Amino acid sequence: MTAAKPKTLYDKIWDAHLVEEAEDGTALLYIDRHLVHEVTSPQAFEGLREAGRAVRAPGRTIAVPDHNVPTDPDRAAKLDSNEESRIQLEALDRNARDFGVHYYPVDDIRQGIVHIIGPEQGWTLPGMTVVCGDSHTATHGAFGALAHGIGTSEVEHVLATQTLITSKSKNMKVQVDGTLPPGVTAKDIVLSIIAKTGTAGGTGHVIEYCGEAIRSLSMEGRMTVCNMAIEGGARAGLIAPDETTFDYVRGRTHAPKGAQWEAAMAWWQTLHSDEGAHFDKVVTLDAAEITPVVTWGTSPEDALPITGAVPDPASFEGGKVDSAKRALEYMGLKAGTRLQDIAVDTVFIGSCTNGRIEDLREVARVMEGRRVKDGIRAMIVPGSGLVRAQAEEEGIAQKLQEAGFEWRQAGCSMCLGMNPDQLAPGERCAATSNRNFEGRQGRGGRTHLMSPAMAAAAAVTGRLTDVRELA
Amino acid sequence: MDKFDKLTGIAAPLPMVNVDTDMIIPKQYLKTIKRSGLGKALFDEMRYLDDGSENPDFVLNQPAWRDSEILVAGENFGCGSSREHAPWALKDFGIRCVIAPSYADIFYNNCFKNGILPIALPQAEVDALMEEARKGANARLAVDLEAQTVTTTDGREIRFEIDPFRKHCLLNGLDDIALTLEKAPAIASYEDRVAAERPWV
């Protein structure tokens, strides 16, 4: 008997969800969890109605409004302030009820950013397939679930059939060995990876993040890393489940219980890449060399250690020369300027990348005995109503408000500025979100991506700051 | 789904790398509950000035390229957000084909669902077609999906690769939901099997 061919984690999850696969590689993949939000779903539900189709598995479908909900402390009074947003929120409400899917309305304490509440409620489990009409669905890969974004036509396809027509991606391994130095966090790891591989480095691949530095991250940190797999071009990022994962999942509302938990654990413990499994691409980083990083440009790959300076566009190659020139012009920066000399107007802490309780605790740690600098607008937008409540219970919310932060309701908020939380033209923001694209946080707004600790440090000094040197 | 078979049209040069979907259509236009009418918002921030008037420097505002049906762009086109509003905006404007060295995966998928053909060619070929495109209305490119070729005005034929299933669906304008619904028995039997093997799912 010959030994079975070693498989990657991705291979195993893929095989477990194949309904069928044609000879040309076109596959019908079963979807365990479908997350739905108000922006990319209305056209899909409308398509079902027009064709007289039902949702095949409403029990596997979870809807929540997050992208354009107001995050003002008194938001119930603000829901009508934008006509288009109101219509979109009403459409989700109607669609969720008409089609009978799980639903967390805006006034439910469990409401929040779709990628925060999926894990929080125990919907996201190891070995699952998870899709959502949102590219940051990659977040759920932190549980060893194959999770990726899809377009609205595919949302309609999954609603109608609970499957996705797709083909298998290649396997890529990103190995981060060693131990992270003090002051360096999951966000610094993932920005450093993207700086190394580029925003298209993972295109056509599913990334598995491995190595000691990844293993030692909390679930919150792992979610930060997988969340930004898409910024490195990979539709999905994965981390093999382990005790950290199981401890997080155990006891959550929709996690299995009793005998089912035991059965699930037996399978989950097989979910790791086998010794000798083939990866098409391997990238290795040494955690000891990772420093706190910030972005200077308009692509997440434009990340540098905070100790560095704005690069000269001439130092790049090919099409990147022009794009760096354009980025510096857009960002209002000159080559050679020390990153730590860049002053900011706004600090945004939140998003599906860094809006979890651990992120807020990190901010509170940095702010201990410190205040937001006068004149800086600093806002904290918890990722869910439950994160918000927990931070209030731990006393973090009160401390941060006393330190000068705005304390807001849960939602995507200024990560993409679909609600009123936007930058004005030319405004500069230290942001814990995931994209620094032109206009992302508001037309003409300038975004520098960084970790929650680094964003807190920027709030204290009013400029990009090395959190390790904060006096 | 819309068909795509052949197209002869003006190609607009957009020599930028990493054109993201926020750039193709910014967030303020994502509040619609329809798929139509987004053409006016295509490339909004580059196409319009702060006062809302057209930016005369942007390629699609220039007389030679106002009626473009093809876009020639740099690598990693369509990166970022999964918003299908990006291909909806391209199509509503009149763009039916994009030519670039590479695409982000989700955008690439979304194109096929909307009758848009994204063609990937080596950088050198894209560079040559970019030069062609700069000639504006005088240089029309001919795209033939069946033959998998792009032909320039001087008759040079460039072959491109495409996944056979996607090609088949695009050529015939197939509704893939209807196709999959025909496989309902296979889906049901998968569900039965998993209900026994992994009942917690």
φ, ψ for residue A110 (rounded to 5)? -80, -5
Question: What is the overall mean pLDDT for chain A?
Answer: 97
Cβ proximity of A161 and A29 under 8 Å: no
pLDDT of residue A217: 98
pLDDT of residue B136: 87
- A3 pLDDT more than 80: no
B113 and chain A: CB distance < 8 Å anywhere?
Answer: yes
B163 and chain A: CB distance < 8 Å anywhere?
Answer: yes
C-alpha span between A172 and A22 (Å, rounded): 24
C-alpha span between A15 and A36 (Å, rounded): 25
User: Which percentage of chain B shows pLDDT scores above 90?
Assistant: 97
Banded model confidence at residue A302, pLDDT cuts 50, 70, 90: very high
pLDDT of residue A319: 86
Cβ contacts of A39 on chain B, cutoff 8 Å: 30-31, 83
Q: What is the pLDDT of residues B82-107, one digit of tens each?
A: 999 999 999 999 999 999 999 999 99
pLDDT of residue A79: 87
pTM over 0.90: yes
Q: What is the pLDDT of residues A192-237, one digit of tens each?
A: 999 999 999 999 999 999 999 999 999 999 999 999 999 999 999 9
C-alpha span between A10 and A22 (Å, rounded): 19
pLDDT of residue B2: 86
Q: Which of B26, B186, B200 sits opposite A20 (nearest CB)?
A: B186
- A1 pLDDT more than 60: no
Give how far A255 is from chain B: nearest CA, Å. 8
Arithmetic mean of pLDDT, A351-360: 98
SS3 label, residue A315:
helix
Q: What is the pLDDT of residues A261-282, one digit of tens each?
A: 999 999 999 999 999 999 999 9
B57 and chain A: CB distance < 8 Å anywhere?
Answer: no
Structure tokens at A255: 């996690």
SS3 label, residue B167:
helix
Cβ proximity of A416 and A429 under 8 Å: no
Q: How many CB atoms lie under 10 A from the CB of residue A250?
A: 13
Q: What is the pLDDT of residues A4-55, one digit of tens each?
A: 899 999 999 999 999 999 999 999 999 999 999 999 999 999 999 999 999 9
Helix axes B105-112, B164-172, angle to 10 degrees: 40
Cβ <8 Å between B75 and A319: yes
Structure tokens at B64: 């030679």
Cβ contacts of A19 on chain B, cutoff 8 Å: 183, 186-187, 190
Cβ <8 Å between B15 and A19: no
CA angle B32, B34, B35 (to 5 degrees): 110
Q: How far is CA A329 from the centre of its chain?
A: 28
Residues 117-156 of B with CB under 8 A from A: none
Q: Which of B110, B114, B200 sits opposite A264 (nearest CB)?
A: B200
* Nearest chain A residue (CA) to B84: A151
Q: What is the pLDDT of residues B132-176, one digit of tens each?
A: 999 988 889 999 999 999 999 999 999 999 999 999 999 999 989
C-alpha span between A317 and A312 (Å, rounded): 11
Cβ <8 Å between B104 and A200: yes
SS3 label, residue B121:
coil
Cβ proximity of B116 and B95 under 8 Å: yes
C-alpha span between A68 and A82 (Å, rounded): 10
Cβ contacts of B180 on chain A, cutoff 8 Å: 28, 157, 160-161, 163, 165
pLDDT of residue B1: 77
To the nearest 10°, the Cα dihedral for A445, A449, A452, A458? Answer: -60
What ipTM describes this predicted complex?
0.95
Place of tokens 């032909």: B151
Q: Which of B31, B113, B187 sits opposite A88 (nearest CB)?
A: B31
Arithmetic mean of pLDDT, A109-134: 98
Q: What is the pLDDT of residues A431-441, one digit of tens each?
A: 999 999 999 99
Arithmetic mean of pLDDT, A134-156: 98
Cβ <8 Å between A256 and B163: no
Banded model confidence at residue A471, pLDDT cuts 50, 70, 90: low
Give the number of A-B residue pairs with CB atoms closer than 8 Å. Answer: 182
C-alpha span between A371 and A456 (Å, rounded): 10
Say which DSSP state B28 is in: G
Q: Which element (helix H / strand E) includes A116?
A: helix A114-120
Question: What is the overall mean pLDDT for chain B?
Answer: 96
C-alpha span between A228 and A185 (Å, rounded): 14
Q: Exposed, middle or buried by CB within 10 Å (0-12, 13-18, 19+), for A375?
A: exposed
φ, ψ for residue B191 (rounded to 5)? -60, -40
Cβ <8 Å between B31 and A418: yes
Which of A45, A81, A203 would you mutate first to test chain B, the one with the most B CBs within 10 A?
A: A203
Q: Which of A349, A313, A344, A346 is nearest to A450 (CA)?
A: A349
What separation, in Å, do the N-terminal and C-terminal C-alpha atoms of chain B show? 33
pLDDT of residue B175: 87
Which of A12, A19, A329, A434 would you mutate first to test chain B, the one with the most B CBs within 10 A?
A: A19
Q: What is the pLDDT of residues A69-115, one digit of tens each?
A: 999 999 988 888 899 999 999 999 999 999 999 999 999 999 999 99
Q: Is the dihedral of CA A106, A112, A115, A119 positive or negative?
A: negative
pLDDT of residue B79: 97
Cβ <8 Å between A235 and B181: no
Structure tokens at A326: 């354009």
pLDDT of residue A2: 62
Q: Which of B15, B84, B184 sits opposite A153 (nearest CB)?
A: B84
* Nearest chain B residue (CA) to A230: B80
